[in-house]
């Protein structure tokens, strides 16, 4: 009897020490977000070397960067629907394989055309990933943890933003810019293999899931009934518009920060990477804080409007306030601090805005979040092109930030149109008069 009790206690201790299966899934998703953003933003740090080697203007480089966003934006409209039908496990394996290949091939480009081609391929791979990851979160996480899950995964992506500049500089000490892409592609292969090991499309298929784990989950699988796509799109449209306004500023940070510090303040690559990392670390804190605050507000008030919409408005207005000094002063320390605070507040938006599609349509979380993220993809098409074009036209590094300032105000106003507190009902669930 004593031995049996000792064995039971040992098993319980082992379970406490080893993360639960939902937390294992969340951990691999965090690694995925980190790897995908390293693959997405590494080109910003390497921009001066790539542009010089391939003889690209700012406008041409902006075109190459934005090429990622064309398939990325388009796939948002149907990629989530596919993940809802085929399952998150299979879709993320396919996405990961495309990302690995596209990243490695970036090191082999010979000019603008081939650079655009590999960026398009990378956009295809990453386009399916984030709606599919949201599908996985809705399946594997309790609703009370949705804000946290979105916050911690996006915090991982912003850690990637922060560590990528110094990481690239470190790899460049031992390799060329071309070899850097090979190294990063192999790193992405790690999360793909881990996802293959840990994930299932249905949590009930995983032998490590306990009855307590399963009881906490609000969704078992995805809804296979016909979807009123246009009705759902109309419900998500205000969220899509707000996501576009937020995404414009993030794309500015992801694409131009190293070049901004290097050229506007005449720093070398190492110092521009240092300041860029400092700014983006503000985003890491913002993502983590946004997720925790959103869930705590929901627990305290029971109001999805307060937990999601109000926090999004605070984030956008805060980013607006701290971007103003960037265009009004040229003091390096002031600009760096204000950019860091602007990044913090803009990233407060991320967890609640990604939770909104899950609140509105949990059984169509992949489809709904893809519709929302179309706004971010569209911003990714326009923001680098407009920013690069304004630079070539004016030579002024402050002027393009004015677009972000204006759109942050627009996004905060549009946030009042979002209604996460009103669940979406498919056609089949709507009662009709007899």
Domains and CATH numbers, the chain: 20-201+221-425 (1.20.1250.20)
Rounded to an integer, what distance in angstroms lies between the CA atom of residue 190 and that of residue 153? 17
User: What pLDDT is attached to residue 240?
Assistant: 95
Query: For 209-221, how does the pLDDT look when each residue is reduced to its tens digit (9 = 90+)?
Result: 888 777 777 654 4
Q: pLDDT band at 433, cuts 50/70/90? A: very low
pLDDT band (50, 70, 90) for residue 429: very low
Q: How confident is the model at residue 114 (pLDDT cuts 50, 70, 90)?
A: very high
CB 316 within 8 A of CB 246: yes
CA–CA distances in Å: residue 107 to residues 68, 115, 172, 176, 254: 16, 9, 13, 9, 20
Q: Are 172 and 270 in contact (CB under 8 A)?
A: no
More confident residue, 324 or 84: 324
pLDDT score for 81: 78
pLDDT at 225 (0 to 100): 54
Taking residues 109-123, report their average pLDDT: 92
Helices 365-394/58-67 angle, 10° precision? 170
What integer pLDDT is reported at residue 39 of this predicted model? 84
Residue 143 has pLDDT above 80, yes or no: no
Rounded percentage of the chain residues whose pLDDT exceeds 90: 32
pTM to 2 decimal places: 0.73
Residue 308 per-residue DSSP state:
I
> Across the chain, what does the average pLDDT equal?
84
Q: How confident is the model at residue 124 (pLDDT cuts 50, 70, 90)?
A: very high
In this predicted structure, the answer to whether residue 281 has a pLDDT above a threshold of 90 is no
Min mean pLDDT across 11-20, 30-39, 79-88, 365-374 is at 11-20
Distance CA 354, CA 150 (A): 7
Burial of 3 (0-12, 13-18, 19+ CB in 10 A): exposed
Higher pLDDT among residues 390 and 300, named by residue: 300
């Amino acid at each position: 009897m004593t031995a049996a009790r000792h064995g039971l206690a040992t098993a319980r201790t082992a379970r406490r020490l080893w993360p639960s299966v939902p937390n294992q899934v969340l951990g691999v998703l965090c690694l995925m977000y980190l790897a995908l953003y390293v693959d997405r933003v590494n080109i910003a740090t390497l921009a001066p070397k790539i542009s010089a080697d391939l003889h690209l203007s700012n406008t041409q480089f902006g075109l190459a960067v934005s090429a990622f966003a064309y398939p990325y934006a388009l796939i948002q409209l149907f990629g989530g629907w596919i993940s809802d039908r085929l399952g998150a496990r299979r879709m993320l394996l396919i996405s990961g394989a495309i990302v690995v290949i596209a990243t490695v091939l970036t090191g082999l480009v010979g000019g603008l055309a081939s650079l655009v081609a590999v960026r398009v391929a990378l956009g295809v791979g990453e386009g399916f990933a984030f709606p599919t990851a949201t599908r996985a979160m809705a399946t594997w996480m309790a609703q009370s943890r949705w804000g946290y899950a979105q916050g911690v995964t996006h915090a991982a992506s912003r850690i990637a933003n922060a560590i990528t500049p110094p990481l690239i500089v470190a790899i460049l000490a031992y390799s060329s810019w071309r070899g850097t892409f090979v190294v990063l592609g192999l790193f992405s292969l790690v999360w793909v293999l881990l996802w293959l090991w840990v994930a299932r499309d249905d949590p009930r298929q995983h032998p490590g899931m306990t009855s307590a784990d399963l009881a906490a989950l609000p969704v078992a699988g995805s809804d296979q009934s016909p979807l009123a796509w246009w009705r759902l799109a109309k419900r998500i449209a205000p969220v899509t518009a707000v996501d576009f306004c937020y995404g414009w500023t993030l794309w500015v940070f992801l694409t131009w920060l190293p070049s901004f510090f290097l050229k506007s303040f005449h720093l070398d690559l190492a110092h521009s990477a240092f300041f860029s990392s400092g700014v983006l670390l503000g985003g890491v804190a913002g993502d983590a804080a946004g997720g925790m605050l959103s869930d705590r507000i929901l627990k305290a008030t029971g109001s999805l409007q307060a937990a999601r919409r109000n926090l999004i408005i605070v984030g956008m207005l805060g980013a607006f306030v701290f971007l103003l000094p960037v265009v009004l002063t040229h003091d390096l320390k002031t600009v760096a601090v204000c950019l860091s605070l602007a990044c913090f507040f803009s990233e407060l938006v991320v967890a609640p805005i990604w939770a909104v599609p899950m609140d509105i349509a949990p059984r169509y979380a992949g489809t709904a979040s893809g519709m929302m993220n179309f706004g971010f993809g569209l911003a990714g098409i326009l923001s680098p092109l407009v920013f690069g074009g304004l630079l070539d036209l004016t030579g002024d590094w402050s002027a393009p930030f004015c677009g972000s300032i204006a759109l942050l105000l627009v996004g905060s106003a549009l946030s009042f149109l979002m209604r996460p507190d009103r669940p979406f009902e498919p056609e089949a669930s709507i009662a009709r008069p007899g």
